[in-house]
């Protein structure tokens, strides 16, 4: 049994081989995307035992996805196939100047959006140490939303440490109000929340980090780590607050996956028993490494590369 479970929707990612508008690109390179799969890959590269929970389409992209998970030593015993609905697809244009790439996705009605509570109930949690959930699965459909709440409730019942990243995808939600309401309900069940500073502004109308942290702690969340890009991370645990500086980046190539890299650092640190300051420091390091690479997850380091970067 895996020590950590990631729940989400991996998508087949087609990255443009040349710069320019996507409609003018002739050739693409296939890869894999999805916030949770990025975290799974990052944890596995650092030597952690990970299981991925999702539903894939019984199609070429679905089988490709399972192959990539296995190649990255990620467990697939919680992966199911759907004979009717298909695996989601995402496109991404190529940027080299550090700007946010255009990355439209085609996932409405996907196989993952049809995952159910019954699949969650079939999972054995007796040997699970940590579960990481984001705000993406509950945005996919009502069924996936119920499955997300069921997974979190089962984790709480079993005393499993729960980390939550809002990871907002406004285009997937039926309304801004529903998004805020559901994210708030999910967040207050977590042991640690990892929001970005811009997400906080959208969710609770605050940009002052101390106020944000106090808001979430008032909801019953013990630890708050606020991601703020090059400024590093703001951490509040119990009644103590502090900032952990970010790392200098020589050249930002692609910002996609930076927040997921931060989550990898924090979660791996928790699993290894590091104090929260060192967890945030590792998160900043992996986030910095990731933005220097074009893919969503190819830049995620193994332990040797991570230690080398942090020492330098």
Annotated catalytic residues are 260
Total residues found in the chain within this entry: 312
User: Among residues 278, 259, 258, which one has the least CA distance to residue 270?
Assistant: 278
C-alpha distances in angstroms, 250 versus 98, 276, 298?
11, 26, 18
Instruction: State the pairing for strand pair 28-33/11-19.
Output: antiparallel
Buried b (16+ CB within 10 A) or exposed e, 150-166: bbbebbeeeebbbbbbb
Strand 89-94: give its sheet, edge to edge. Answer: 28-33, 11-19, 89-94, 105-106
CA 6 to chain centre: 9
Specify the 3-state DSSP secondary structure of 208. Answer: coil
CB 301 within 8 A of CB 293: no
> How many CA atoms does the CB half-sphere of 42 hold within 13 Å?
35
User: 159, 128 in Cβ contact below 8 A?
Assistant: no
Rounded Cα–Cα distance for residues 41 and 278 (Å):
21
- DSSP-derived secondary structure letter, 255: -
CA 127 to chain centre: 22
């Amino acid at each position: 049994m895996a020590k950590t479970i990631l729940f989400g929707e991996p998508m087949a990612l087609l990255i443009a081989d040349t710069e320019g508008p996507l409609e003018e690109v002739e050739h693409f390179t296939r890869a894999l995307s999805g916030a949770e799969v990025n975290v799974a890959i990052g944890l596995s590269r650092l030597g952690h035992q990970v299981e991925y929970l999702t539903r894939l389409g019984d199609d070429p992209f679905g089988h490709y996805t399972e192959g990539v998970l296995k190649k990255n030593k990620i467990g697939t015993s919680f992966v199911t196939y759907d004979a009717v609905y298909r695996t989601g697809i995402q496109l991404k244009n190529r940027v080299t100047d550090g700007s946010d790439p255009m990355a439209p996705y085609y996932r409405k009605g996907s196989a993952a959006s049809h995952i159910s509570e019954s699949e969650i109930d079939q999972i054995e949690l007796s040997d699970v140490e940590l579960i990481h959930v984001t705000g993406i699965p509950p945005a996919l459909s009502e069924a996936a939303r119920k499955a997300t709440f069921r997974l979190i409730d089962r984790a709480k019942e079993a005393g499993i440490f729960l980390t939550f990243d809002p990871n907002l995808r406004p285009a997937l939600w039926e309304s801004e109000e529903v998004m805020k309401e559901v994210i708030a309900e999910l967040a207050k069940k977590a042991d640690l929340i990892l929001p970005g500073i811009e997400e906080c502004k959208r969710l609770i109308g605050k940009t002052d980090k101390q106020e944000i942290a106090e808001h979430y702690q008032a909801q019953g969340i013990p630890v708050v780590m606020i991601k703020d890009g090059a400024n590093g991370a703001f951490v509040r645990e119990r009644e103590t607050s502090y900032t952990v500086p970010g790392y200098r980046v020589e050249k930002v190539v692609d910002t996609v996956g930076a927040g997921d890299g931060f989550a990898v650092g924090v979660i791996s640190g928790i699993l290894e028993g590091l104090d929260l300051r060192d967890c945030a420091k590792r998160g900043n390091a992996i986030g910095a490494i990731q933005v220097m690479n074009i893919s969503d997850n190819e830049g995620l380091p193994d332990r040797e590369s991570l230690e080398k970067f942090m020492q330098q």
